[in-house]
Amino acid sequence: MSLKDFYNSLKFIQQSGYVYYVAISLILSAICYLIFLDLNWLIGDDIQFETIFNGNYLLGWSGAGRFWPLGLFDYNILKFVNVSFGETVPFYVYNAIIMVISSFILFHFFNKIDNDNYILSFFGMLLVFTCSSFIMIHMDCVYPEHFMFFTLVIFMIFYWKGFKEQNSIFYAIALLSACYTVFCKEPVFLIFSVIASFNILFMWNNMSRKDKWFNLLLIAITISYLLVYVYHAFFVEGFLSSIYEGGSKAGNSLTTGKTLFSASISTVVYIIKKIFLKTEPFLILFFVLSFIRLYFVIIETDRKHLFFDGLLFGGIAYTSVFIYLLMSCHWYFLPVMILEIPVIVYWMNILKGHFNKKFWKYGLIMSCVACSIASAAISQHSVKAHLAWRKETSRITDRIIEYYNKEQPIVFVGQKEFDRTEFATKSKMQKNISIMKSIEKIDENIIPLNALVVTADPKVDMSKLINMGFSLIEKQGTHRMYCVQ
């Protein structure tokens, strides 16, 4: 083979995209290595012990204004696998499989919107991989965002194919995906309502009959969720919380003892510092792009890019809820990344052929690189802390499994922030596990002295148990305390 033939072979491999599939596979393999490194259960995973390991269905959190019943429902597929109590591997194998499948589907979607520009599609995937929450979401089993990654990618690609090909089947799959996703996290209804409202407001006269039905049904799905949510909050829970506890506490700490002006300044500083700089720097880029596109859509009446404008503003609406509530945990923002990175890829593809728009083109590329570096640094810190936490909690989780297998009683007490196991308490718990909402009025008849008492609530008064004859054997910071005689 001549040197020219070898060069042509390499060029063919690059143009065919094989090299990029291999590169993505290697990156995903490295992430899978981190997922399985020092594998162990962590805080929040007790919901797995209380439900799926006992033959009950694993759902999602409810109470105190929270309602996402399908948030963890996908894990119930493991009920059909013979999983021993406390076994971690099947859960994280499932996490890894969903991550790999979703990533390649997203890469395929990038190739569709940039006309098989594999370099640009690969760049888009690097942005996704380096976001602050991507790896962390798959290193734990309590985040609904891990499966929302899959459902949102399915929604986008079939929404795109339905829109381009006017195919009712593709539209139907997108609607089914939206219907599932909207019950995975409360603010998700804003994504789909904004997308549909945007299309109806600016595209109605140019829509086909299939387009109109799709957007109207998308609105119907969001309204259905809101009706179920309000019913659950008013008639099941008995109240409707307007803000989440976490946001309320953060807001109170910023506004106590301050004037309206100084409190507003403190809030803005908190949002910029904590959410935009220390949680997900990509949000800065997304908000800037949204303001630019809003100007062109409203003032310049630019209606050529409404498909991706809908994704952009849907993601911004979703993000705004967490910003308003001052909720700065990184995992909240993965769905935003999944929605907005395709918008970035799309605009890079649009700008690449416009030599008179070099400022916008190179400005967008440099902004993405800067955000990616900053976000990757945050992700690296979070992953290191998570791996250290896994090592520290191994003794504790091993003790839970030991007690369960010996059929000694285990009591979970006082769920932190809100009772996320209400659905489990309504069903008969199997074997030796029981759940208590409060520890205030306990006695020996309720908690046997040979029981292992587990709490995720630092406010629980353990001194009463100690006075009853228990001794504190393990303590994990302010997150976990275990007592046993």
pLDDT at residue 154 tops 60: yes
CB 52 within 8 A of CB 58: yes
| Model pLDDT for residues 73-130, shown as the tens digit of each residue | 898 888 888 777 778 888 899 999 999 999 999 999 999 887 878 889 999 999 999 9
Give pTM, 2 decimals. 0.82
pLDDT greater at residue 268 or residue 381:
381
Query: Cα 406 to the chain's mean position, in Å?
Result: 36
The pLDDT of residue 375: 93
Residues 6+ apart with CB under 8 A from 293: 305, 309, 312, 313
The pLDDT of residue 216: 96
DSSP 140: -
Helices marked H in 393-450: 394-405, 422-425
CA distances (Å), 357 to each of 300, 308, 350, in order? 17, 20, 10
CA distance 150 to 269: 34
Neighbours of 429 (CB within 10 A): 17
Tokens 């105190």, residue located: 64
Give, to the nearest 10 degrees, the angle between helix 334-351 and helix 145-165. Answer: 40
The pLDDT of residue 269: 77
pLDDT at residue 261 tops 60: no
Query: Which of 34-38, 89-93, 112-116, 435-439 is predicted with the least confidence, judged by mean pLDDT?
Result: 435-439
